[in-house]
Structure 1
Amino acid sequence: MSDLSGSHALVTGGGRGIGRAIAASLRQAGATVTILGRNLATLNEVVAAGDAHHAIAADVSNQAGLAAAIAQAAARQPIDILVANAGAAESAPFGRSDAALFQRMMDVNFMGVVHAAQGVLPGMVANKRGRIVAIASTAGLKGYGYVTAYAAAKHAVIGLVRSLALEVASKGVTVNAVCPGFTETDLLEGSIDNIISKTGRTREQAVAELARHNPQGRLVTPAEVADAVLYLCGAGASAVTGQSLVVAGGEI
């Protein structure tokens, strides 16, 4: 396990699913962990359960609000690790995907990463130390039908990671992405419900429809994604930057 003692990690979307698993993993590795999200009550439950140290309510799509939250966290302790995990997914045929849908997906999934990175990067560069990990998706590396807006936003995240990594490569900061396949989370439950309502399939059939994308024939677990993040945050990944680490059973 990586030793992150003395580090301060900020995890957006840390109240549930992948974000919570990441927060817990970073804490177990010795980092002080601050989680951000829109629902403070949910975040406080994570802190009470021992999976994080501090919680701050913030919406990653609101640049000013997120900047204030990051400043509050950094005032407690300089931020060494950012895991930009907050995200949202909506599905619709392209012909019914209006500008508002595309904007929502970009605001949360892409601009949320931009805002968070811009908030922490000056401090990291000044300290010549930092890890930025964006939770993207296999949808950032390939296409899926009926999620054009989501896939476009996740592709944008990959481009951001590759370019920003080059800008800060000599400044002690690494920038990477983790790209999970379909993962057992509350977010995925929405996709399962959508399949059930539109196709009349059972829940087991809907899960199988998603799991078939994974050559291992299963869904990924949040803990597996957290392990990938933990690696990228550790000393052993100091020379790894600008990469997209896929956690998807061989799908990519």
Structure 2
Amino acid sequence: MGVAHLARVAVPALLRRPQPRGGRFVDLASAAAHRGLWGLGAYCAAKHAVVGLVRGLACDLRDTGVNAVAVSPGSTRTDMLRATADLYGLPGLEKLADQQLTGRPLEPEEVAAVVAWACSAESFAVTGSVRHADGGFTA
């Protein structure tokens, strides 16, 4: 519900901006939104819901100058990835990146760069879609 609550607050604020407006609603989904993962069914469902909400929101924002985009990171070097490695009984988080074409976990700054682009004016043509920052996990 966090994404829905955020949208309820952020979108009206973006729409109050003067014309011609150019705002971005960007939220994080996950590579798990696009594939099932063992032991993480509820997480996959929640992230799939993020994608659905962003797509529907983009339709609602048609012709307003405000776009909605989801960014789906893959295995990123974070505390959450360490916890996932523990859940799977892996000795380290590096093994989780074996499914990514990059062959290594992503750094948070690499995912942040995709989010920053999605927030920029250059991303105007992208709305109602997902930017995969997953190291090729969903290729």
State the TM-score, normalized to the length of structure 1.
Answer: 0.51
RMSD, aligned α-carbons: 1.3
User: Does 1:230 find its partner at 2:116?
Assistant: yes
CA drift of 1:146 comes to 1.2
Match of 1:239 in 2: 125
CA drift of 1:148 comes to 0.5
Equivalent positions of 1:69-148 (< 5 A) are: 111-127=1-17, 128-148=21-41
CA drift of 1:151 comes to 0.1
Mapped partners of 1:217, 1:184: distance in 2 = 13
Match of 1:250 in 2: 136
Mapped partners of 1:184, 1:116: distance in 2 = 25
User: Is the CA contact 1:169–1:241 (under 8 Å) kept in the aligned structure 2?
Assistant: no
Query: Does the residue aligned with 2:103 lie in a helix, a strand or coil?
Result: coil
Higher radius of gyration, 1 or 2: 1
Mapped partners of 2:133, 2:101: distance in 1 = 12
User: Is the CA contact 2:22–2:121 (under 8 Å) kept in the aligned structure 1?
Assistant: no
Equivalent positions of 1:1-252 (< 5 A) are: 111-127=1-17, 128-196=21-89, 201-203=90-92, 207-252=93-138
5+ residue gaps, structure 1, are 1-110
User: Is the CA contact 2:74–2:133 (under 8 Å) kept in the aligned structure 1?
Assistant: yes
CA drift of 1:115 comes to 0.1
Q: Letter of the 2:136 partner, please give it.
A: G
Mapped partners of 2:14, 2:30: distance in 1 = 25
Mapped partners of 2:126, 2:133: distance in 1 = 16
Match of 1:53 in 2: none
Runs (4+) of structure 1 moved beyond 6 Å?
none
Mapped partners of 1:181, 1:194: distance in 2 = 17
Mapped partners of 2:10, 2:122: distance in 1 = 22
Q: How many residues align?
A: 135
The C-alpha deviation readout for 1:11-59, integer Å capped at 9, x for no partner, is: xxxxxxxxxxxxxxxxxxxxxxxxxxxxxxxxxxxxxxxxxxxxxxxxx
State the TM-score, normalized to the length of structure 2.
Answer: 0.90
Mapped partners of 2:32, 2:42: distance in 1 = 10
Match of 1:51 in 2: none
Mapped partners of 2:40, 2:91: distance in 1 = 22
- Report 1 or 2 for greater relative contact order, CA contacts < 8 Å, sequence distance ≥ 6: 2
User: Is the CA contact 1:163–1:242 (under 8 Å) kept in the aligned structure 2?
Assistant: yes
CA drift of 1:192 comes to 2.1
